[in-house]
Structure formats: structure tokens, C-alpha cells
Amino acid sequence: MPDDAPNSWEARAAAHSLYGFTDLPTIDRRGTVVLTHGEGPYVFDVHGRRYLDANSGLWNMVAGFDHPGLAAAAKAQYDRFPGYHAFFGRMADTTVMLSEKLIEAAPFERGRVFYTNSGSEANDTLVKMLWFLGAQEGHPERRKILTRINGYHGVTVVAASMTGKPYNSLFGLPLEGFLHLTCPHYWREGAEGESEAAFTARLAAELDEVIAREGAETIAAFVAEPVMGAGGVIPPPEGYFQAIQSTLEKHGIPLVADEVICGFGRTGEAWGCQTYGFVPDAVVASKALTAGLFPMGAVILGPDLADRLQAASEAVEEFPHGFTASGHPVGSAIALKAIEVILDGAGDAPPLLDNVRRLTPRFEAGMAELARLPNIGEARGKGLMGALEAVADKATKTPFPSELSVSERIANTCTDHGLICRPLGQSIVLCPPFVMTDAQMDEMFEKLGAALEQVFAEVA
């Protein structure tokens, strides 16, 4: 229960704050969890309670909440050059170094980087780049963007139009020209008796049909997360991206990997596209780019799109787009350190990516064990991201009635047990920090298992 005193942290939060993506009945009943600090994968509230954050904040705090190297990089840059922009032919030296590092780490041989302050802004920027290219290359009709139902690409107007979630209809979205194809969730969307290979073939055929119906000359790009994150951690079916990319290449349509969640190690490789064996035409990055310590996003264009955008911009003397804080020197310094910590290893410490790979079998085993519960229909995921989907009937995959708010109840019960995890639809999502130990992984599954059994005993 929340502290009802008028000067309590809970009351102060309720009086002056608006909440995004928050179950408001839960806030009314339980109050806001007001946090003060973190240690490793744990966060602490104003009452001194400790929680193991199995969400990595919001997918992003992959190095934990008190990494000394990242904090030191931020402090050093604030002392040296605390802020600037990337307009008018000027940018910080750390930003130049970060662009070099990102192209070095990118899944293609060369390219160019444009900075934003979030993944949403990066997806908006990508679309404006594509629209700009179409107009400058004499194809102003090339504006349609293809994504998938349940895909998540952000909350700004264009990014929300890309996002295939029903709640965006509350804002009168999507905008015209944003088309959502079938969600590639084989367990839920596959037809009875349909093999995984046949499901993949059906989705590739659907893409071909949509392109034929709309006209390839009107389509600017197909944008996809390697693993759907906020859609409920949905990995693609076998051979999906190879089939999709082959179809797109036939029609000359770029494939963009939205790596906001998957990028920088979450799936066990530097990029999700590497995990699934395809090279996109561009990458959108954010979240783990700065290990959550600074708001930053990036559009990383591969060679073809980079060359074309440069030529189109030179024709009108500029690319007329940007943000005051994009390419921020402190964000760039933190990102450089984060990439070192995650992908290269810092000092004597091995790269965190090694720990992701080491922990993945333990994570998969914990997920498989909980999948044996009679009200878990599917355990799915890749690397250190996974989801457990609750069902009222396992054999028929029948979900619980929505009014039971089962996933919200599970998440709230987890909080009572000192574990933070995320409800998404009828699923509970886990995306633990890369710094987790074996003991902490076991603690996570022990607390989640207890919460699941408690809630299922109440509702099943």
C-alpha cells in the first residue's frame, strides 16, 4: 500500500506527475515506486527496499546502475567540454570518434551516422531521410513505410505510425502510408498444421502481395526489429529475414534493422541482424548505445543509402534536419565507453558481451523450467531477452480474460517479492542487465516462479 501521508514520496509523485505506459489503477492502489539509487542490477526505493531489476531499466541499463567507468567518462567530459551541437559544420571531437567507432562496429563495411536523442527520434529521422531521398531523386511518391503488427518503433508521430500497436488509434494514428504486415509470431499466428517454414513462406508471399498492390515505386523501406521487443519478445521464424530480404531486393526496397533494443549485445551478438544472418541497408540504434546513462540515438546508414543521402544533400547544400542536443559531447563520450565495456572489454575486464553469452544457457534453462507451469503457454526469446506468455488453457492457447489483468498482477506480485519485471499483453518480459551473476540469475527465476505460482493459484 502507498504511504498516504500528504508529504510522502508517493503522494508527491501522484500530485505532480503524469505517467506514460503505466497501469493507473495500480498506481491508485499501490502508489509510485520512487527510487533513490542502484547497485549493480539492483535499485533501491525511498523506503530502503531493494529490487532486482530484470528489465535493465527499460532495456537500456545493461552495465548496471553504478558502473564506475561509465560515470567517470561522463564526469571527465563534463569537466572538459560539457555541451555542444552538431550543426553548421561543427561537432565535438568525441562525436567524431563515436562515428568512427560506430561504423567500425556496424554490420556493413562503411557508412555514415546521424545522431538523435532517442530511438523514436532516430526512426523519425530515418523516415525523413527516406522521404528526402525520394523527393531529391525524382520519386516523390516513394513514401510508404512497411512494418509489422506488434512491432514497436517509438512514440513520436512518425515512429508511432510505424508502431503496429492498437493503442495508437487513440491518437488518430497511423498516418497515411504506414502499412503493418502480419506479426511474425509463429506460436500465435501460425495456422493449424502449418510448419514454421510454411509460415515464413506465407509471410514472404504476403510481403510480395503488398508490394504488388501498393507499387514498389511507392515504398520507401521495410523496417523491422530483429527480435520484436515491446511486442512481447518475439523472435522471427526460421529463415524469415532471408526470405524477406530476398523479396525486398527483388523490388529495390531497403531493409532497415531497428536495433534500438537488440543492438549492442542483447541477442548474444553485437547486432540482432548478425544473430539472424542478414546485412541491412541501415541500422537504428539507441538504449544500450550509452548503457542508459545518456539519452542518445543514432541512424547508421550503410554504403548505398549514405552515398545517396550525401549526394541529395549536396544538391540542396544541406540536409535540413537535426536536434539541438544530438551528437552531444557528453553522450558521445559515454557511448564510446559503453561500446568499449560491452563489445571490447575495458582494462582487465572482459567485454560484457562475453557474460551475455555465458549466461544465456542459464537464462534459457530458467525460462524452460517456468514454461512447464500449466498456465505458461510459451517461453520465447533470444540471448538475454525473453517472455513467458500466460494462458488460461495451454492446449488451446486461450488467453486469460483481459479484465483479470494477469500480467499486471504477476508484475505487481514480483515487485512485492523484490523483483522488477515488465507486463506486456498477457506476457511477462525479462531483459536482465549484462552484469548479472549466476546467483542473481537464480534469484530472478526463484522470485518470478513464486510470483507466477501465487497469481495462477488466484486466477486459474
What pLDDT was estimated at residue 335?
Answer: 98
Helix 196-214 and helix 240-251, axial crossing angle in degrees, nearest 10: 20
What pLDDT was estimated at residue 227?
Answer: 98
CB-based contacts of 112, cutoff 8 Å, min separation 6: 99, 103, 300, 301, 306, 309, 310
Please write the tens of the pLDDT for every residue from 237-290: 999 999 999 999 999 999 999 999 999 999 999 999 999 999 999 999 999 999
What pLDDT was estimated at residue 5?
Answer: 83
What's the gap between Cα 153 and its chain centre?
A: 8
Please write the tens of the pLDDT for every residue from 389-445: 999 999 999 999 999 999 999 999 999 999 999 999 999 999 999 999 999 999 999
Please write the tens of the pLDDT for every residue from 80-98: 999 999 999 999 999 999 9
What pLDDT was estimated at residue 260?
Answer: 98
- Rounded average pLDDT over 4-23: 90
pLDDT bin (cut points 50, 70, 90) of residue 1 is: low
454 backbone dihedrals φ, ψ, rounded to 5°? -65, -45
Percent of the chain with pLDDT over 90: 97
For the chain, domains (ranges, CATH) are: 33-66+351-459 (3.90.1150.10), 70-344 (3.40.640.10)
User: DSSP for 295-312?
Assistant: --EEEEE-HHHHHHHHHH
- Burial per residue of 119-136, b for 16 or more beta-carbon CB atoms within 10 angstroms, e otherwise: bbbbbbbbbebbbbbbeb
Contact criterion met (CB below 8 Å) for 2 and 31: yes
Sign of CA dihedral 119, 124, 129, 131: positive
- Estimate the share of the chain in helix, then strand, then coil, as percent rounded to the nearest 5: 45, 15, 40
- Rounded average pLDDT over 342-366: 95
Is pTM, for the whole model, over 0.75? yes
Instruction: Using the predicted structure, report yes or no on whether residue 65 has a pLDDT greater than 60.
Output: yes
Please write the tens of the pLDDT for every residue from 237-250: 999 999 999 999 99
What pLDDT was estimated at residue 347?
Answer: 82
What pLDDT was estimated at residue 2?
Answer: 60
Task: Measure the CA–CA gap between 409 and 432, rounded to whole angstroms.
Answer: 20
What pLDDT was estimated at residue 6?
Answer: 83
Average pLDDT of the chain, as a whole number: 96
